[in-house]
Structure 1
Amino acid sequence: MLNESGIARRYLSTQKKRTVLLTMGVALAMALISTVFSMLNLMQAFEVRMTIEDSGVWEVMAGACTPAQAAALQKRVDVSASGKVAVVTQDAQIGGTDLQSLTGADAGGFTQRHWLLKSGKLPRGTGEIALEGWALQKLSPGAKIGDTLILTIAGKKQSYTVSGILRDNAVHRDSKLYKAWISLGEAQQLNGSDDADVLMQVAGNADIGKFVKSVESEQHLSKDQMQTHGTLLAATGRSDSREVIAIYAVGAVLGLVVLFAAIVMIYNAFNMSVTQRMRQFGLLRAIGATPKQVRRMVRAEAAQVSLLGVLPGVALGAVVSMLLNLLLRSTFPAYFGGPDAPVVFISWPSLAIGAIVGILGTLLSALRPARRAGKVSPVEAIAAMPGANFKKRKTMGVATHLLPVEAAIALRQVLMRKRAFLLTAVSLAFGILLLLAFSPVTDFFAQGTRHTYDLGDVYALTTTPGQGFSDETVRDMSKIDGVQSISPKRIGSVDATFAYSLLGENYQDGVKNGGAKASKGADGMVKTDAKSKILGLSDTDIRALQSDLILGKIDPAQLDKENGVLLMINEGLPGQPNLGDLQPGDIIRVNGKSLKICGIVQTNEVIYEVNNDETAHQAPLFGMYTTNKVMRQFMDIQPNLVTMMLRPGTNGDAVAARVKQLTANVPGATSANQQAQKQEAQNANMIGNVFVYGFIGVIALIGVLNIINTIGTNVLVRTREIGLLRAGGMTMGQVTSMLINESVLYGVFALAIGLAAGIPLNHWFSQQMVQRLYGLPWHLPWLFIIIACAVTVAAIFLSLVSPLRQIKKLEITRAVTVE
């Protein structure tokens, strides 16, 4: 009795080279799924952890609730965990230093806000206080648990005992935000109210939107009292925001593209192997094997190959996850190096998906080739003479008159195997398609981790309207020991608007629905309640913005001549028109004057630093850079922000203290050391680049390996055919030329298919993710197109090196007998 599994196993063990190539094709598909999904999972984990560390685990907050409302909310069955907090509304100081906040919380409130206890106990009774370790040592050097601190609250001094020390928050520490915590009851007593904010985690099966509406209705709370933790909900897949839902849709499409790409890669690898072995199947039929037995043998071979490809395929995904996690732990120890942070991160769901899809994909991919193998005619297969028709011979004849014989033969081979050729080209095209599809994802993540504050190492700032730093003060700052360079900036608030017709259809609808914050005026101009910010810079600082340029040109002389500005993109904030459709050359109106957009640059949140108007709490409509000459058309003020770069090794605190002395007489002046924040920002940018280039590298690598494996397999499985051509008089040089021509045809078609499908997909993904949220206008991804073309060409030629070397060493008499 014929043992189909045994025959399949014996074939795989004897044809080791073919087995390795086939297994490699399956493993690459599994690697693609497990690696890409693992990186996406790690990106999600990165965002979730950063969000939790910064602002807590709560998902919905009900503000200013009465005790009865709070009790009712905490008893809800769809609330899995909760806590209460109350911020003291009166100013508080410790030793003359203002506290950013003095907050009361119960145990649940501390948990929900992720204020973690390091030592001691949480404040429970009257006169107990807790601080972060760094803040306690700054405010009262040498203080420890049990010591007494004197707080000045609303001008009255009160004694508090340090009951506990909280774990340092990196943002608080680096930004020197001094915060302190007391018991909830004492905070309510200081406020003269029993109200508290209730922080809630919602049960996993509950709809967040419906939950919020039911809370508003049942507890008679206004919409202003309700707040959702948007970033955390988005990162955990529970947001109902239109923008976030658009990102979810993009993620779903990307996932399907990756899965489909993997299945096509597997199908192509297996189909190629089976197609080249029809003579073997014919021999089995000739000795009595039934079509059903042949089909079983092919399916058994697929099952064994899929099992062989699982380990190397998913291992790559696991290794990538672990390496990236180690990088995060070493770069961000404050966030990822804690005792509750995982030392080893492996995305088991991603690895499982890769393995399952790989195995099922291989088995499903074998169904059609198995049916074809079962239908092979024994006579035709043994004769190895698949029917050729007159049209193909005629095509060959015409081709030899127009092309060299090697190119003509390559073309004939392609035309004789149209279906296999197209399938292979599509398989190769998916590497190009994925590269173009994932480039908006990398842009999205890079923007999300991008540090957008440009305040140097040390800065001096005044927020008092009409005030600034004199030329003498600026010169004195430049002479401080350790200051390497100094950059005075002028920031002012202006009224700015632009033509409604400049916005695309989506954003026009957004303005229509913007209500009081953004609307179309009778004159056809977009109007908002928000002011805009304009920054006057020196020519040197203008030129330094070159690395932030997205579109247009940076030239101080052009800005002066054309009354121009460099427009910062905005981030699609609620109620604000997204500026992603504005382009260089468009005209905007600023305080009644026409200014030309000469360039589009990345957002820099330094525009929020000088709050000198009554609407400063709102996000500005525009952020603009321009020269000091253009700036004087709107206001002639002294610099109100001065940023300083320090020499390596300089103590930033000492410089900031000296700056504070020099600016003591300037109303509203502050100074700060930004060295820690700057390093944190560089680390964040580095992590962003790791993910960005990691995605590009992984997809490009798998694409290259797929090309090498596919074309290399195509050459090796045709060893007998090539041997016959050499026996007929073709030289090895002509064989090489023929295969190069054939591979070039594969590459050209793969590029055509990949670019034709990838560019529209890139456009749509970019619109939904990057332009909608960050205002980045879409343009052709030339860098990725060039990378795709270069990688494809290089991989094609590289794929021929090893097979040609093996064929060259093989004697012609042996080559014509190879199966």
Structure 2
Amino acid sequence: MRKVKNRKAIRRVADRTRKAAKSRNLIAVLAIALTALLFTSVFTIGGSIVEKQQEATMRQVGGSAHGGFKYLTQEEYDIVKKDKKLKEVSYRIVVGEAVNESLKKLRTEIGYYEDLEAKFSFCYPEEGRMPEAADEIVTSDLVLKAMGIPCEVGQKVPLKFTVSDREYERTFTLTGYFKGDTISMSQIMLVSRELADELAPTPTVSAMGSNIDASGYTGTIMADFNFRNSFDLTGKMEALAERCGFPKDTVSDGINWAYMGMDINIEDMLPVAALLLVILISGYLIIYNIFYINVFHDIRRYGLLKTIGTTGRQLRKIVRRQAYMLCLYGIPLGLLLGGVTGKWILPIVMQNLVFSSTADTKVTLKLWIFAASAVFSLLTVYISCIKPCRIASSVSPVEAVRYTEGQNSKAAGKKGRKTKKVKPWTMAAANMQRNKKKVVIVTTSLSLGLVLLNSVYGLVSGFDMDKFIASATVSDYSVYEAGLDNPTIIDKPVEGVTREFLDALSEQSGVEEISNVYMNYINQPNFTEEERSAFNKKILQNPKAQPYLGKYFAEEAYQESIANGTFDIIDGKIFGIGRLIYEKMELSEGELDWEKFKTGKYVITSKFGHLGPDENRINYYEVGDKVTVRLDDGSSREYEVMAVGDLPYACGLQSYGVFEYNFVLPDREYLDFIGDRLPMRTLFNVEKDKEADMEKWLSNYCENVNADLDYTSKATVAAEFEEDKDMYVIVGGLLSLILAAIGILNFINTMVTSVLSRKQEFAMMEAVGMTGTQLRRMLGCEGLLYALFTGAASVILGGILNATAIRGLGDALFFYRWRFTVTPILLCLPVLVLVVLAVPALCYRSMCRTSVTERMRKAE
């Protein structure tokens, strides 16, 4: 058979067919645009969050380089630098550590950094330049603020610092500064190479294989580098060490957590995959329905094309070309709207994430986001066109010319039925039975938006502000050292509240009750033989603890500790609390009795360790046991266990050891036993009408009088709760709105096409006596049936999801209280009814602009 060159003809037929249906094309373009909008928004927000989280991790680590070698000599560094498989290499030299009194709570390292290394380490000056002379320095705004120095180039910086345990005191000139990161493990001061060579010359003896402690860092070169990509960094690091000739297992190296932490977690990816699937399904439903309807609308044309020799493959190409040409309009529009939507929503989402304080909320619209969105949108269109293409290619010319919607319906073919009185409802029901698949698709599409809206409402309505506030504070106000709850600070400031603050607080009016939390670390390494035996029996040999203890006891240090009986792996805390906090204790055993407790003869103990779920934690002490509490200085006291429980999370240290147990004493007994101490936290309540004044006074005190203090109030916690809630409402509501718009577009397209495809049929009905009012009622009944099916499907599916998936998701939130609801669906049904009544009426009105005679003619 001769191959005919007919590509241009096929394209011409496809383009003319597409241009002949402008109204249908508009709906198709909008559907494709909305699908692309959803994909772009998800990829923009999701991709930006992953990028910001990675950046926050880098800032916590202190650098963006893939990895590095530590404690190198100049000769060893030169070998690394010459490696051709490295993309970038730079270094820093450790000089010392600042010891100014004003910096005692802000660990600050001093070192020489190359320009590229400073950029790796987020400390390249944003204002000014790098230091060049021995008396020049660059540091962060956080350090300057702590030292009381304005952020201005040229300022004098008096500095006390240590280099190899030797203390120096010099005054430097500030040549630049940068924005510091509160999450970083330490702040940085950059000095010149001249000063580094003077005070900390680089050693010439290799440190590989040596045990270097903190004092041995001085002068050594810390090399950081980037590979061509971040794939398999562990393997790349090992290969680099081998190429450089460094002895195996002797070179001290490090890989950036930010890259190692990007492994895919199946559980974390499930919600993302589910969201993409919902978008894919919603886009598929409308796009499939549009082309499915379009194919049947043009079925006669395809049949005539077949009579003149057009093959099924060519017909598939015609349908696909129409779809892809519509994508040229819909996808760019969706990408643009999705990018704008993502940039609007991201700041709302970011402010509720734990790393938001270390990353900005700016959206970088990268090429891969648009590429991925376009690919997913095209994939949706491609999948949606598969069935319509098959229908078009398999059509018989004779059947196509005779085709009317629902001609193969079983209901239409039944004979011998008793004639019933014709009513709008019965005619509407018969019409919908013509194409049940179309009814299912439209109903599903309309239901998706309602089900998602109900799910969002079910989640948000379960947010319990009281539980949220109780997790953050048990009183109207809580004051503490600013770094106390910072998860990156290892050495927690347990005496943060100053006497000056306590004196100032006592002078404020409206204060009803003040209660302090005191804390001291304790370590009881020397167990008696009896205590050791009890520990073995209750903890080490307890089957309940084995799943959690195994991985820790496998380590040599723990085994030695157990073998020699010192148990220095065990630590704990001793708390002193006032009555306000005592009454909020979370007990698992025993009862509270303040009058009895404040005598100082009783103690509340915690369950041992934080080894897993609370039900798996183990009681080391029982109510009524006698407990000997020993301090590190050797002093001890004996108490009776009144109860077993924990301090409220908002009152404790908010960090835990694996092998720890805690004791809680009344504040007076604590101070008598431990000695004079300052509080770790101060909690207090105020009179209702004084809350605004107290909020203002505390804010001013913590910002202007003592910036080292911070506070939490019920008002600030409530505001945070509302922000969390707003995030779910805005993001979920917007997604619901878009899905609802897709569903409504699907319904509009279905009704418009249905009315237009049946205009000849309607004309015949009118010719034999059926009135326009009766036709409008019939179409209205069709719309109401769609609304009825949609409402029923939405209520059933929405109720099931609310009781299963939403309940499970909400239970993961500590401030959630589940309640069953389908209220949003019921409230939206009247709006849906208005839409399904208005669309058919408008379609019929448009059709009636032509006369019955004209409509009875075949328009093909």
Same fold, TM-score > 0.5, yes or no: yes
Give 1:115 deviation, angstroms.
0.6
Q: Residues 90, 295 of structure 1: CA spacing in aligned structure 2 closer, same or farther, 3 A cutoff?
A: closer
TM alignment of 1:578-727, pairs within 5 A: 579=612, 582=614, 588-589=618-619, 591-592=621-622, 607-608=653-654, 619=657, 640-643=679-682, 647-650=694-697, 654=701, 672-674=708-710, 692-719=728-755
Q: Residues 657, 60 of structure 1: CA spacing in aligned structure 2 closer, same or farther, 3 A cutoff?
A: same
Q: Which residue does 1:323 correspond to in 2? A: 344
Q: Residues 435, 95 of structure 1: CA spacing in aligned structure 2 closer, same or farther, 3 A cutoff?
A: closer
Q: Which residue does 2:158 correspond to in 1? A: 149
The 3-state SS of whatever aligns with 2:387 is helix
Q: Which residue does 2:206 correspond to in 1? A: none
Could you give the per-residue CA deviations for residues 294-323 of structure 1, whole angstroms, max 9, x where no partner exists? 545433322332223123211211212343
Give 1:167 deviation, angstroms.
1.0
The amino acid that maps onto 1:312 is L
Give 1:493 deviation, angstroms.
6.8
CA distance in 2, matches of 1:370, 1:731: 33
The 3-state SS of whatever aligns with 1:417 is helix
Aligned mate of 2:839, from 778, 798, 803: 803
Give 1:125 deviation, angstroms.
5.9
C-alpha contact (below 8 Å) 1:321/1:345 kept by paired residues: no
Aligned mate of 1:207, from 228, 232, 245: 232
The 3-state SS of whatever aligns with 2:64 is coil
Q: Residues 644, 300 of structure 1: CA spacing in aligned structure 2 closer, same or farther, 3 A cutoff?
A: same
The amino acid that maps onto 1:28 is L
Q: Residues 748, 188 of structure 1: CA spacing in aligned structure 2 closer, same or farther, 3 A cutoff?
A: farther
Could you give the per-residue CA deviations for residues 538-597 of structure 1, whole angstroms, max 9, x where no partner exists? 89779999xxxxxxxx99999859x9x9999x9xxxxx75x4x557xx875264459999
Aligned mate of 2:29, from 17, 23, 28: 23
Give 1:377 deviation, angstroms.
3.9
CA distance in 2, matches of 1:232, 1:79: 17
CA distance in 1, matches of 2:801, 2:647: 28
Give 1:101 deviation, angstroms.
2.1
C-alpha contact (below 8 Å) 2:66/2:227 kept by paired residues: yes
The amino acid that maps onto 1:211 is K
Q: Residues 282, 138 of structure 1: CA spacing in aligned structure 2 closer, same or farther, 3 A cutoff?
A: closer
CA distance in 1, matches of 2:120, 2:745: 52
The amino acid that maps onto 2:35 is A
Q: Which residue does 2:289 correspond to in 1? A: 269
Aligned mate of 1:301, from 298, 322, 328: 322
CA distance in 2, matches of 1:109, 1:308: 46
Give 1:226 deviation, angstroms.
4.2
C-alpha contact (below 8 Å) 1:268/1:427 kept by paired residues: no
C-alpha contact (below 8 Å) 1:533/1:620 kept by paired residues: no
C-alpha contact (below 8 Å) 1:281/1:376 kept by paired residues: no
Count of matched residue pairs: 736
C-alpha contact (below 8 Å) 1:28/1:706 kept by paired residues: yes
CA distance in 1, matches of 2:705, 2:411: 89
CA distance in 1, matches of 2:606, 2:365: 42
CA distance in 1, matches of 2:829, 2:543: 44
Aligned mate of 1:169, from 180, 189, 208: 180
Aligned mate of 1:122, from 130, 133, 138: 130
Q: Which residue does 2:517 correspond to in 1? A: 489
Q: Which residue does 1:43 correspond to in 2? A: 49
Give 1:43 deviation, angstroms.
1.7
TM alignment of 1:437-476, pairs within 5 A: 458-459=479-480, 476=503
Aligned mate of 2:277, from 227, 241, 257: 257
C-alpha contact (below 8 Å) 1:721/1:816 kept by paired residues: no
Q: Residues 732, 139 of structure 1: CA spacing in aligned structure 2 closer, same or farther, 3 A cutoff?
A: same
Q: Residues 732, 229 of structure 1: CA spacing in aligned structure 2 closer, same or farther, 3 A cutoff?
A: same
Give 1:105 deviation, angstroms.
2.9
Give 1:475 deviation, angstroms.
6.4
Query: Mean Cα displacement is larger for which, 703-712 or 114-123?
Result: 114-123
Q: Residues 541, 278 of structure 1: CA spacing in aligned structure 2 closer, same or farther, 3 A cutoff?
A: farther
Q: CA RMSD in A?
A: 6.4
Could you give the per-residue CA deviations for residues 682-712 of structure 1, whole angstroms, max 9, x where no partner exists? 9999987776555423421221111111122
Give 1:204 deviation, angstroms.
0.6
C-alpha contact (below 8 Å) 1:65/1:197 kept by paired residues: yes
The amino acid that maps onto 1:81 is E
Aligned mate of 2:435, from 417, 425, 445: 417
Query: Mean Cα displacement is larger for which, 54-63 or 276-285?
Result: 276-285
Query: Mean Cα displacement is larger for which, 405-414 or 461-470?
Result: 461-470
TM alignment of 1:515-530, pairs within 5 A: 515-516=553-554, 529=569
C-alpha contact (below 8 Å) 1:457/1:644 kept by paired residues: yes
- Find out whether 1:310 has 2:318 as its counterpart: no
What's the TM-score once normalised by structure 2's chain length? 0.65
Could you give the per-residue CA deviations for residues 66-112 of structure 1, whole angstroms, max 9, x where no partner exists? 55554444444444334444556666226796762232132144222
Q: Which residue does 1:100 correspond to in 2? A: 107
Q: Residues 123, 744 of structure 1: CA spacing in aligned structure 2 closer, same or farther, 3 A cutoff?
A: same
C-alpha contact (below 8 Å) 1:129/1:161 kept by paired residues: yes
Could you give the per-residue CA deviations for residues 384-442 of structure 1, whole angstroms, max 9, x where no partner exists? 275446567679989x99xx977776666665534444555565676689889999999
- Find out whether 1:355 has 2:361 as its counterpart: no
Q: Residues 394, 597 of structure 1: CA spacing in aligned structure 2 closer, same or farther, 3 A cutoff?
A: farther
Q: Residues 432, 598 of structure 1: CA spacing in aligned structure 2 closer, same or farther, 3 A cutoff?
A: farther
Aligned mate of 1:230, from 230, 244, 257: 257
Could you give the per-residue CA deviations for residues 497-555 of structure 1, whole angstroms, max 9, x where no partner exists? 8998889xxxx8676545558999x9xxxx9956577988889779999xxxxxxxx99
C-alpha contact (below 8 Å) 2:108/2:189 kept by paired residues: yes
Q: Residues 84, 710 of structure 1: CA spacing in aligned structure 2 closer, same or farther, 3 A cutoff?
A: same
CA distance in 1, matches of 2:426, 2:606: 56
Structure 1 unaligned segments of length 5 or more: list them: 443-449, 546-553, 571-575, 610-617, 660-670
Q: Which residue does 2:120 correspond to in 1? A: 112
The 3-state SS of whatever aligns with 2:653 is helix
C-alpha contact (below 8 Å) 1:27/1:309 kept by paired residues: yes
C-alpha contact (below 8 Å) 2:68/2:255 kept by paired residues: yes
Q: Residues 40, 295 of structure 1: CA spacing in aligned structure 2 closer, same or farther, 3 A cutoff?
A: same
The amino acid that maps onto 1:710 is N
Give 1:30 deviation, angstroms.
1.6
Structure 2 unaligned segments of length 5 or more: list them: 1-5, 203-214, 461-468, 485-489, 523-534, 598-603, 624-640, 685-692
CA distance in 1, matches of 2:621, 2:658: 14
CA distance in 1, matches of 2:733, 2:373: 19
CA distance in 1, matches of 2:583, 2:752: 56
C-alpha contact (below 8 Å) 1:414/1:421 kept by paired residues: yes
Query: Mean Cα displacement is larger for which, 301-310 or 681-690?
Result: 681-690
The 3-state SS of whatever aligns with 1:366 is helix
Query: Mean Cα displacement is larger for which, 307-316 or 245-254?
Result: 245-254
Q: Which residue does 2:638 correspond to in 1? A: none
Q: Residues 656, 87 of structure 1: CA spacing in aligned structure 2 closer, same or farther, 3 A cutoff?
A: farther
C-alpha contact (below 8 Å) 1:8/1:298 kept by paired residues: yes
The amino acid that maps onto 2:224 is L
Q: Which has the greater radius of gyration?
A: 2
CA distance in 1, matches of 2:423, 2:73: 89
Q: Residues 696, 536 of structure 1: CA spacing in aligned structure 2 closer, same or farther, 3 A cutoff?
A: farther
C-alpha contact (below 8 Å) 1:459/1:674 kept by paired residues: yes
The 3-state SS of whatever aligns with 1:589 is coil
Aligned mate of 2:365, from 346, 359, 365: 346
